[in-house]
């Protein structure tokens, strides 16, 4: 498939850019942060986005979505990255809806996908337990009990935990922490007995949270898909999630790079624009090359999700590894090339490096995915 | 059946009948490349047979117009031809600066007579060309070149010297940048001349490289007479042509970064180094570097495709192509450094049949030139910074 956007996709990109610049820009993020908003995102804005179809953009029409595919979702995510827009699009749509669409039973899909697409329900994945992304180390357990299961464990870094209606909890049904297999995905109400959540505000001013599960009873129909395929389903969901996060990171990188290039043309020292200095020019040119590579791997990976490519895992790890590496470089240089003003809270460039680091780490950073890429390539 | 499918069948049949078996095994080294010319050098007689047959059909330059001997194929047909050639492992029939550099410029800027004269001979590999750009005092700052061409009525009298002229001692003709006027800025007054290396007053002196090979020369011009008809484009306007030709040269050089072997470097590493108990390459640092290289190579490949696709779709300005020369050559240098790490100290043997007579270290050393020839990496970064990013001078 040609590595370009078609007419319809280009229109979506322009529309998303226009809407987000107006309503969900860096200024909006700053306002949310400074007002210490209870929800951590604007519910009205999220409803507007859902009304435009974004919350169902990759969800099939049969379940109330727009069916634009992941390329459509990626386009919106990239623009959200550019504007640092805050919403549950990542947690509920990119990750949770994907898990339900890929793994859910017909009844689960009917019950949840239209509700996610309309913006009415927020679902989030409760996976991580330690400092790093390491799904195989999952220690939370789901123990068979009559027709159902009893889940216990502690989850950290759960995006939007305190505002979610439902959690998709990853728990071990077999094996030991360290085994890649033996994981199950369970749909759990956030308000179910035994579930408690605590909000954690991250460096990027976004919602994360800790979820404690204390002998939470779930019925058999709350298992997402089947237990035998839980680990494989999780990998598939994470591959897609990492590609989506890469699209967001790409937008963030492009925006901070462009802002930095403008600054190099404006700021004068030694009687000349600082952009005349070759020491800065070459670093800028190298970043440009990196960004062109990042663009290519993102569009290729998004298309691969929609095409159902069978080497998606390899591509997803290449994508997240490359884009994380580029994001680290570009966000660091953005601060350095702005000099002192780049360090001030009043100036916006600092917001980009903060979001970059969180998105890089979520579901595995450069080192994690470089290692996985090598493993998948059999060395 | 579509016309394209028909073309594929015919092409397959023709290649099957005309590509000699010896030309279906990969080139083992530079010696196996066929460059044609008046006195062609060969490691196997079928090299000329294969090149001549392809040249006759115009398929050494499949996309060039048929009226000058080219293949006259459209983009899709060219793609089919390449696919069918790679299906049987057919070698590139003819390596040529005439094809990769001069031809495109000739087609755009040459007179009708020049095209009629030179293009068919390039297509058929009858004349081997070399590039007379760099001078001892004009490398990165190419426009400061001093080789003089004086107007003598019906001819120019050329005096001066060039350096780093690849294969000057083997080439039949040269495309040469000369100065016809000293009065304007350095970019003005440059003229693009074509002349026979057998002309009186042309001498060459090979230069030995760190790889132990001598692929290029110093080239001296002492009162060389060049007929006026051999001026390409307008007198004093050669810089535009020179730059256009450089874009083709850079495109060729950026392609060096593609790996050609059947096995990936990481697969070779697994064989030579082995795995640890956890099933990972038993050298964690090398493993990391290899993963980064192979990942970057894959993403670079996607980038070349994307930029081509964007051009076809009429999107973007093709600016991203400016990174190809820089990134592709740096990637290739990185690949060869890692090859040394993978093959270990034994890989550095310089002589002896058991060690391929130093094929690896020689090839590794050769890659160091990738980021120098055709405009250095630093110059490519200058170009990106100024022309693409619009940073001020
Ligand atoms: C294998 C090989 C084949 C070649 N074949 C040919 C050929 O067939 N015909 C031909 O005409 N030429 C040929 N060349 C010459 C080649 O084009 C030049 O070597 C090249 O343009 C660099 O010029 P230079 O060697 O004079 O280096 P210099 O220009 O002296 O550069 C030295 C160093 O200074 C840096 N530098 C220079 N200017 C700047 C700047 N403005 N900003 C930052 N850094 C700068 C360079 O990047 C480089 O690192 C060949 C070279 C090689 C290595």
Gap from CA of B132 to ligand 1 centroid (Å) = 13
A152 and A220 co-located in one domain: yes
Query: Has residue A60 been placed in a domain?
Result: yes
Gap from CA of B374 to ligand 1 centroid (Å) = 7
Choose the weakest-confidence range: A18-22, B99-103, B245-249: B245-249
Query: Has residue A56 been placed in a domain?
Result: yes
A76 and A160 co-located in one domain: no
CATH number of the domain to which A262 belongs: 1.20.140.10
A68 and A150 co-located in one domain: no
Q: Is the minimum distance from the CB of B247 to ligand 1 under 6 angstroms? A: no
Rounded to whole angstroms, the Cα distance separating B190 from A370 reads 50
Query: Has residue A17 been placed in a domain?
Result: yes
Q: Which two tokens stand for residue B45?
A: 């007689």
Buried b (16+ CB within 10 A) or exposed e, A300-338: bbbbbbbeeeeebbbbbbbbbbbbbbbbbbbbebbbebb
> Residue with structure tokens 């990174």?
B323
> Residue with structure tokens 């002196």?
B205
Q: Where are the beta strands (DSSP E) in chain A?
A: 123-126, 141-145, 148-155, 166-172, 183-189, 195-201, 207-218, 268-269, 272-273
Q: Name residue A16's beta-bridge partners.
A: none
Phi, then psi, of B213 in degrees rounded to 5: -95, 165
A183 and A162 co-located in one domain: yes
User: Using the beta-carbon criterion (under 8 Å), do A318 and B299 form an inter-chain contact?
Assistant: yes
Gap from CA of B373 to ligand 1 centroid (Å) = 6
Confirm or reject contact between A371 and chain B (CB < 8 A). yes
CATH number of the domain to which A222 belongs: 2.40.110.10
Residue A184 has pLDDT above 80, yes or no: yes
Query: Has residue A190 been placed in a domain?
Result: yes
Average pLDDT of the segment spanning B354-380 = 92
Confidence at residue B255, expressed as pLDDT on a 0 to 100 scale:
73
Query: Has residue A1 been placed in a domain?
Result: no
Give A174→chain B minimum CA distance, Å: 22
Residue B30 has pLDDT above 90, yes or no: no
Average pLDDT of the segment spanning A35-49 = 97
Q: Ligand 1 pocket check: which of B173, B220, B373, B382 to mutate, most ligand atoms within 8 Å of Cβ?
A: B373
Residue B139: exposure state from Cβ atoms within 10 A (0-12, 13-18, ≥19)? middle
- State the pLDDT confidence band at A209, using cuts at 50, 70 and 90: very high
What does the mean pLDDT of chain A come to? Answer: 97
Confidence at residue B260, expressed as pLDDT on a 0 to 100 scale:
57
Taking CA atoms, what residue in A is nearest to B268? A379
Q: Which domain holds residue A371?
A: 231-376
- State the pLDDT confidence band at B215, using cuts at 50, 70 and 90: confident
From the list A2, A281, A289, the residue facing B326 with the nearest CB is A289
CATH number of the domain to which A80 belongs: 1.10.540.10
**So what's the ipTM on this one?**
0.92
User: Using the beta-carbon criterion (under 8 Å), do A276 and B393 form an inter-chain contact?
Assistant: yes
Q: What length does chain A have?
A: 379
A:B CB pairs within 8 Å: 125
Taking CA atoms, what residue in B is nearest to A371? B288
Residue where a domain terminates, one of A65, A99, A122: A122
Q: Is the minimum distance from the CB of B365 to ligand 1 under 6 angstroms? A: no
A101 and A140 co-located in one domain: no
- B264 interaction partners in chain A (CB closer than 8 Å): 377
Tell which residue, B156, B188, B192, has the closest CA to residue B174.
B192
- State the pLDDT confidence band at B261, using cuts at 50, 70 and 90: low
- State the pLDDT confidence band at B342, using cuts at 50, 70 and 90: very high
Tell which residue, A291, A289, A365, A351, has the closest CA to residue A321.
A365
- State the pLDDT confidence band at A256, using cuts at 50, 70 and 90: very high
Q: Are A358 and A296 in contact (CB under 8 A)?
A: no
Query: Has residue A154 been placed in a domain?
Result: yes
Confirm or reject contact between A180 and chain B (CB < 8 A). no
Gap from CA of B103 to ligand 1 centroid (Å) = 23
The domain total for chain A is 3
Measuring CA to CA, how many Å separate A23 from each of A17, A26, A65, A279, B136?
Answer: 10, 10, 23, 37, 60
Gap from CA of B377 to ligand 1 centroid (Å) = 9
DSSP assignment letter at B181: -
Q: Is the minimum distance from the CB of B268 to ligand 1 under 6 angstroms? A: no
A295 and A172 co-located in one domain: no
A244 and A346 co-located in one domain: yes
Residues of B labelled as active-site residues: 249
Residue where a domain terminates, one of A69, A91, A122: A122
Whole-prediction pTM: 0.92
Give A276→chain B minimum CA distance, Å: 5
Q: Are B134 and B164 in contact (CB under 8 A)?
A: yes
DSSP assignment letter at A174: S
- B266 interaction partners in chain A (CB closer than 8 Å): 374, 377-379
User: Using the beta-carbon criterion (under 8 Å), do B392 and A272 form an inter-chain contact?
Assistant: yes
Taking CA atoms, what residue in B is nearest to A283? B381
Q: Ligand 1 pocket check: which of B139, B141, B217, B330 to mutate, most ligand atoms within 8 Å of Cβ?
A: B139
A186 and A315 co-located in one domain: no
Query: Has residue A2 been placed in a domain?
Result: no
Query: Has residue A195 been placed in a domain?
Result: yes
A179 and A144 co-located in one domain: yes
Q: Are B233 and B225 in contact (CB under 8 A)?
A: no
Q: Is the minimum distance from the CB of B376 to ligand 1 under 6 angstroms? A: yes
Residue A345: exposure state from Cβ atoms within 10 A (0-12, 13-18, ≥19)? exposed
A165 and A235 co-located in one domain: no
Ligand 1 atom nearest B209 alpha carbon: 1
pLDDT digits (tens, 9 = 90+) for A126-142: 999 999 999 999 999 99
Confirm or reject contact between A299 and chain B (CB < 8 A). yes
A279 and A363 co-located in one domain: yes
Residue where a domain terminates, one of A180, A209, A227: A227
Confirm or reject contact between A293 and chain B (CB < 8 A). yes
- A292 interaction partners in chain B (CB closer than 8 Å): 303, 307, 320, 323
* Structural domains in chain B, sorted by start: 3-123 (1.10.540.10), 129-236 (2.40.110.10), 241-388 (1.20.140.10)
A248 and A335 co-located in one domain: yes
């Amino acid at each position: 498939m040609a590595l370009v956007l078609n007419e319809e996709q280009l229109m979506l990109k322009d529309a998303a850019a226009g809407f987000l610049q107006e309503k969900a820009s860096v200024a909006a993020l700053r306002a949310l942060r400074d007002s210490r908003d209870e929800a951590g995102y604007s519910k009205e804005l999220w409803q507007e986005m859902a009304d435009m179809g974004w919350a169902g953009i990759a969800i099939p029409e049969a379940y109330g979505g727009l069916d634009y595919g992941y390329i459509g979702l990626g386009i919106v995510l990239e623009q959200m990255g550019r504007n640092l827009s805050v919403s549950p699009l990542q947690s509920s749509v990119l990750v949770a809806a994907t898990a339900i669409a890929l793994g859910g039973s017909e009844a689960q899909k009917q019950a949840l996908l239209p509700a996610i697409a309309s913006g009415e329900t927020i679902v989030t994945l409760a996976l991580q337990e330690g400092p790093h992304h390491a799904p195989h180390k999952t220690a939370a357990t789901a123990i068979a009990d009559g027709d159902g299961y009893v889940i216990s464990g502690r989850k950290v870094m759960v995006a939007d935990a305190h505002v979610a209606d439902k959690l998709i909890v990853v728990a071990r049904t077999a094996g030991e922490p360290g085994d890649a297999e033996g994981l199950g995905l369970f749909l759990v109400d956030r308000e179910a007995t035994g579930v408690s959540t605590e909000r954690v505000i991250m460096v990027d001013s976004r919602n994360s949270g800790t979820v404690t599960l204390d002998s939470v009873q779930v019925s058999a129909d709350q298992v997402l898909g089947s237990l035998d395929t839980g680990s494989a389903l999780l990998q598939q969901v994470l591959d897609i999630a990492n590609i989506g996060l890469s699209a967001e990171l790409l937008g963030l990188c492009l925006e901070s790079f462009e802002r930095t290039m403008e600054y190099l043309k404006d700021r004068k020292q030694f009687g000349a624009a600082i952009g005349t200095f070759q020491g800065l020019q070459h670093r800028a040119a190298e970043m440009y090359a990196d960004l062109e590579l990042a663009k290519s791997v993102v569009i290729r990976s998004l298309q691969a999700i929609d095409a159902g490519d069978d080497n998606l895992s390899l591509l997803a790890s290449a994508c997240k590894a490359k884009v994380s590496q580029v994001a680290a470089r570009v966000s660091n240089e953005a601060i350095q090339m702005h000099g002192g003003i780049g360090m001030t809270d009043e100036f916006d460039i600092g917001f980009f490096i903060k979001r970059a680091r969180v998105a890089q780490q979520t579901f595995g950073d450069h080192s994690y995915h470089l290692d996985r890429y090598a493993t998948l390539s059999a060395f | 059946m579509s016309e394209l499918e028909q073309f594929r069948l015919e092409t397959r049949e023709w290649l099957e009948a005309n590509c000699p078996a010896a030309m279906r095994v990969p080139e083992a080294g530079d010696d196996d490349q066929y460059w044609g010319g008046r006195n062609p050098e060969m490691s196997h007689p079928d090299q000329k047979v294969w090149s001549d047959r392809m040249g006759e059909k115009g398929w050494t330059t499949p996309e060039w117009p048929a009226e000058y001997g080219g293949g006259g194929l459209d983009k899709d047909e060219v793609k089919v031809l390449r696919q069918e050639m790679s299906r049987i492992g057919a070698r590139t029939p003819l390596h040529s600066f005439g094809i990769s550099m001069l031809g495109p410029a000739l087609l755009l800027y040459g007179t009708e007579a020049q095209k009629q004269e030179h293009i068919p001979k390039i297509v058929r590999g009858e004349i081997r060309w070399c590039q007379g750009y760099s001078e001892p005092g004009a490398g990165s700052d190419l426009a400061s070149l001093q080789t003089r061409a004086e107007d003598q009525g019906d001819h120019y009298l050329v005096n001066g010297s060039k350096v780093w002229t690849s294969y000057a001692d083997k080439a039949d003709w040269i495309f040469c940048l000369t100065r016809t006027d000293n009065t304007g800025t350095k970019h003005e007054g440059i003229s693009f001349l074509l002349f026979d290396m057998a002309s009186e007053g042309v001498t060459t002196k090979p230069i030995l490289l760190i790889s132990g090979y001598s692929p290029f020369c110093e080239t001296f011009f002492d009162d060389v007479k060049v007929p006026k008809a051999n001026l390409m484009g307008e007198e004093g306007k050669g810089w535009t042509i020179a730059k256009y030709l450089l874009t083709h040269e850079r495109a060729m050089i950026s392609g060096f970064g593609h790996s050609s072997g059947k096995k990936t470097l990481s697969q070779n590493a697994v064989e030579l180094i082995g795995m640890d108990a956890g099933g990972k390459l038993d050298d964690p640092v090398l493993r990391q570097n290899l993963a980064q290289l192979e990942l970057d190579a894959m993403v670079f490949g996607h980038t070349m495709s994307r930029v081509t696709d964007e051009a076809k779709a009429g999107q973007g300005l093709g600016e991203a192509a400016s990174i190809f020369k820089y990134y592709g050559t740096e990637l290739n240098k990185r690949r060869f450094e890692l090859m040394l790490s993978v093959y270990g100290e034994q890989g550095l043997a310089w002589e002896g049949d058991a060690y391929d007579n130093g094929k690896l270290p020689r090839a590794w050393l050769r890659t160091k030139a990738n980021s120098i020839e055709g405009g250095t990496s630093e110059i490519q970064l200058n170009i990106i910074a100024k022309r693409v990013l619009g940073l001020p001078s």
